[in-house]
Every structure is written in structure tokens, then in C-alpha cells.
Amino acid sequence: MNGAEALLRSLVSSEVSTCFANPGTSEMQFVAALDRVPEMRAVLTLFEGVATGAADGYARMAGKPAATLLHLGPGFANGIANLHNARRAHSPIVNVVGDHATYHQRFDTRLQSDLSGLARTVSAWQRSTTRAEDVGADAAEAVAASYGPPGSISTLIVPADVSWNDGGVPAPPQAPPLRPVVPPETVEGVAKLLRSGERAALLIGGDAMRERGLVAAARIAHATNVKLLCETFPARHERGGSLPEIEKLAYYGEMATAQMAGIQRLVLAGARAPASFFAYPGKPSDLVPEGATVHLLAGVGHDVSAALDALADAVGARADPPRPRANRPDRPTGPLTTESMAAAVGHLLPEDAIVVDESITSGLSVPAATAGGPRHDWLALAGGSIGQGLPAATGAAVAAPGRRVLSLEADGSAMYTLQALWTQAREGLDVTTVLLANRSYTILQFELARVGVSGTGARATAMLDLTRPDLDFVSLASGMGVPAQRATTADELAALLERGFAQDGPMLIEAMLG
């Protein structure tokens, strides 16, 4: 058995059975081995950023890593932005990157680059295998390492001769490690603090954004009057149905400061101490309220939900918190605005949908419009690097067949990794994309003012403008095999959403926001 086959068999035996691939010459043995290892599903992408973003979306929904298959240093580089996002989401990913044959590297040929240096920037675990005999075990170690906790990026560099040489040995399965449990003293300490009467806030994130953590947090808030907040960009937030609602920490610092005004104790559970996303002149970066002390209940690597359960019991919370009632917006009519768009989404969101949110400024009203809707998952842009939404929607759909993916995508952001649409069409994925067309980098118009610029001239304004020429997303999607329609009113959007949610396979709706 050659190295490539041993690698594939080792991945599959550790339940890494999906690979988002953009291969080149140095990965041809891996490609050939796909026919001998049919348990591995290989999903072709046209660009590496699609592969890595899809692996992120997949990991968030499957709770286990996908592999990516990337070509040399430049191919890996094309995947880094979405690996950055995955790293911030704590998504486990196993990158398999082909390299030049071991004996070939000294020639420093055209496609050679500092692959190890690139891998180091985003990988918690990396290795360059040098023998076919080792590649199976190395793959298993890569999988194990990717679980962390918390989840992280593993990068296995496989020289071409390691793939084609005989002597490969498939590795036995690797079980995911258990998350460490928070010690009872820590829980008791926080419980004491919440009972002290001082004004406290509980900021949750990471795994606590799933049902168990949310219910526990709501119990705690109900029993103690602690102010409950969650991180701004959760990797996976279970919402809707009978799940407790939770207030998100605002993106802009001054709003976050207002949310936490008067807080003396800030307790963190799976979230980090709050800081401004960007720095702005004369505004603080540190958002911990002045004079407040910070207390760590559980780090992102802990079993955060179990810690919250224990805390709820320790503060004597009743078993079940009050649950919200279903509350959907009416079906909107009239002009298509960010508000009527949000209402249409809230009115029609299917049961068990997965919402992938890269709507930036255009989608600000959607969270409120969907909070009282049916149960769904919400995947946010955890690393802040745009170009993640369409790929993540693709990967989420691969991970969760039978569930509808709603991809809320801003026009400027869509253009980074639009190639994801082709993979959606190729795989027949149930992804409905609402392309929010405001034809500008609107967020940068806000940011320009916030960094202290006044009286912007024509040349600066042109850098934030996406007209000249207009992007036509109906043409762009059609060109990649995804059926597409344009909505210019709220009524049209609602009708198209109904159609998109009902039909098999992908569809794109270009929502022309007024």
C-alpha cells in the first residue's frame, strides 16, 4: 500500500470521511487513492479558500474535522484566510498539503515556497512527513490534535514521494479527547460571587452557545439577576424554538460599554474578556467595565456547558428557565429594505435551518426577526475575515443533509470566494443564498468616519463603491450553475424564498436593497 492510500485509510478510520479538495500534481496519488477508499467523500472546489471555509462550516455542524487537500505553499496560502476564521471558531480541520518530493526540494523549483512557514501561522499542529511508513500514524495524530480542546488546525505536509512510495501503514482510529471539567471550587467561587449582591455579568461563548449551555445560563440569570450576555460572533449558536434568547455583546465598543454599564464583576464562560474589534482614535480597546474584576468560570477548551450546569445548581436555580413564545414577523410587502428583508427571512425560515451569516451591515435586523422563529443554528463570521460565508454554507450543507442552509451574504464579501456556488451546484446542496446587494462596502463608510476622517473626497469614496460596473449576481450565479433570480420588492423576496426553501439544491436570490 502506498503512502497516499495509508493516509486516506487513516483519516477514514478516525472518522474524517469528507475532504474538500483543490489538488495539483503533488496530490495526484491522493486523488488516485480515492477509488480504493470509497468511504472518503471528496468534494471538489475551484479555489482553496472555498475548501478551507467549507471545512470550517462542516466542522461547526458535524462536530468533527473534515480534511482539505491543498497544493503546495501557494495553494495553502489561498486557504489561509478561512483557516484564520476556522481557528477563531475553534473548528477542527485537518489540512493535507502536498509538497515536492523530499529529494526534489533542494532544487528550489518555481513552485517551491516556505510552506512550513505558512502553515505555522494558523496551525496548532503541523508536520512534514518524510517516509511512507509514517504518514498513516501522522495523519491519525493530526486528527487527534485537531480536537484540541479547543478545536484547532492541523496541517500535514506530504511530499510527493511519501505518497507514491510503498510501505504505508493505516493507523488505528483516534477517539476525540474529553474536554477538561472545571473544578468544583471554581464553580463555588463564582456562585458565591453571584450571590454577593454586586452587579455582575455573565459573558458566554464557544460551546455554551448550544442548547445545554444556553439553558443553564438562562437558569443562572433567572436565579441571580446576573446580566447575561454572549459573544458577538459565535461559531455556532442554537436559537429559536423553545431555546432561551440571549443578548449579544455589541460590535461597536461604545454600545458594548453601555450594555455593561455599572457591572462590577464580569464572569467569563467560554468567552474571552471583551475588547473592541478594531481600535479607533480616542476610544478604548479594552471593554472590561472600569473598576470591574474579571472571573474565569471556564475557558474555551473546558466543558463550558457542564460548568454552567454546575453553576446553575450551585446558585439554586430552578430546573427549567422560562421559555420564549414563538413570535414571527408578518409577511412583508412593499419596498425591499434591510428591515423588510429581515421580516421575509423571519416569516419563512424553515424548521431546523442553518443560517450562515456574512451579511455584515445589511443583515443587522435579521437576528431579531428570527429569534422567535423555529429552532435553527446560526453560524457567525468568527474570525472577521470576509469571504467565509458562501464556503461555510457549502460545508454546513455537506455536514447536515436534509437541513436547509440559508446563506445571508453581503455583495462585497461574496466576491472573495464566489466559486463556492459551483461546488453547491455540483453537489446539489440545499443552500438558499440571499445575496444582499447594496453595491458598496457600506461598513467601510461607517469605519471611515470612526477612524476620524471627515469630509471624504471623491477618490476615497470610490474605494468603497461597488458600482462602476454593477455586479450582476444573477449572471454570476447562473454562470456557475446555480439557478438565480432577482428580488426588487419584499413581496418578490418572500415568494422567491418560499421557492428556494422548497426546492432541492441551491438557489441564489439577489436582493436589491433600497
Q: Which of residues 91-130 bind a second copy (CB under 8 A)?
A: 100-101, 103-104, 107, 109-111, 113-114, 117-118, 120-122
Q: Which of 185, 319, 402, 458 binds a second copy (CB under 8 A)?
A: 458
The amino acid occupying position 169 is V
Nearer to a second copy, 167 or 384 (CB): 384
Q: How far apart are CA 124 and CA 84, in angstroms?
A: 12
Nearest alpha-carbon partner for 338 in 261, 410, 281: 410
Would you count residue 459 as binding a second copy (CB under 8 A)?
yes
Q: Which of residues 150-169 bind a second copy (CB under 8 A)?
A: 160-161, 164
Residue pair 189/171 in contact (Cβ under 8 Å)? The answer is no
Q: Which of residues 33-62 bind a second copy (CB under 8 A)?
A: 34-35, 38, 42, 44, 46-47, 49
Residue 126's DSSP bridge partners are 155
Residue pair 304/204 in contact (Cβ under 8 Å)? The answer is yes
Q: Which of residues 166-185 bind a second copy (CB under 8 A)?
A: none
Q: Which of residues 429-448 bind a second copy (CB under 8 A)?
A: 443-444, 447-448
Nearest distance, CB of residue 435 and a second copy, angstroms: 11
Nearer to a second copy, 278 or 501 (CB): 278
DSSP 28-52: HHHHHHTTT-TTSEEEE-SSHHHHH
Q: Which of residues 378-397 bind a second copy (CB under 8 A)?
A: 382-385, 387
Find the helix or strand (DSSP H, E) in which 512 lies: strand 507-512
* Strands lying side by side in the sheet with 125-128: 41-44, 18-21, 66-71, 93-99, 153-159, 125-128
Nearest distance, CB of residue 132 and a second copy, angstroms: 12
The amino acid occupying position 283 is K
Q: Which of 21, 66, 220, 399 binds a second copy (CB under 8 A)?
A: 21
Phi-psi region of 464 (alpha: psi -120 to 50; beta: other; left: phi over 0): alpha
CA distances from residue 488 to 408, 437, 513 in whole angstroms, order as listed: 16, 10, 7
The helix, strand and coil proportions of the chain, stated in percent and rounded to the nearest 5, come to 40, 20, 40
How is residue 206 annotated by DSSP?
A: G
Q: Which of residues 235-274 bind a second copy (CB under 8 A)?
A: none
Nearest distance, CB of residue 237 and a second copy, angstroms: 16
Nearer to a second copy, 369 or 508 (CB): 508
> Which residue has cell 443587522?
364
Nearer to a second copy, 463 or 502 (CB): 463
Choices 66-74, 193-201, 212-220, 330-338 (CB under 8 A): range interacting with a second copy: 66-74
Q: How far apart are CA 393 and CA 390, in angstroms?
A: 5
Contacts of 421 (CB under 8 A, 6+ apart): 390, 433, 476, 477, 480, 481, 482, 506, 508
Q: Which of residues 313-372 bind a second copy (CB under 8 A)?
A: none
Nearer to a second copy, 114 or 247 (CB): 114
Residue 436's DSSP bridge partners are 410, 511
Q: Which of residues 402-431 bind a second copy (CB under 8 A)?
A: 412, 415-416, 418-419, 422, 425-426
Choices 189-197, 299-307, 329-337, 478-486 (CB under 8 A): range interacting with a second copy: 478-486
Q: Which of 17, 264, 276, 293 binds a second copy (CB under 8 A)?
A: 276
Would you count residue 20 as binding a second copy (CB under 8 A)?
no
Q: Which of 77, 260, 315, 406 binds a second copy (CB under 8 A)?
A: 77
Residue pair 233/381 in contact (Cβ under 8 Å)? The answer is yes
Nearer to a second copy, 209 or 223 (CB): 209
- State the Cα torsion 358-359-364-368 to the nearest 10°: -70
Nearer to a second copy, 385 or 432 (CB): 385
Nearest distance, CB of residue 99 and a second copy, angstroms: 10
Q: Which of 192, 460, 502, 514 binds a second copy (CB under 8 A)?
A: 460
Nearest distance, CB of residue 260 and a second copy, angstroms: 16
Choices 297-305, 396-404, 430-438, 468-476 (CB under 8 A): range interacting with a second copy: 468-476
Q: Which of 211, 245, 472, 491 binds a second copy (CB under 8 A)?
A: 472
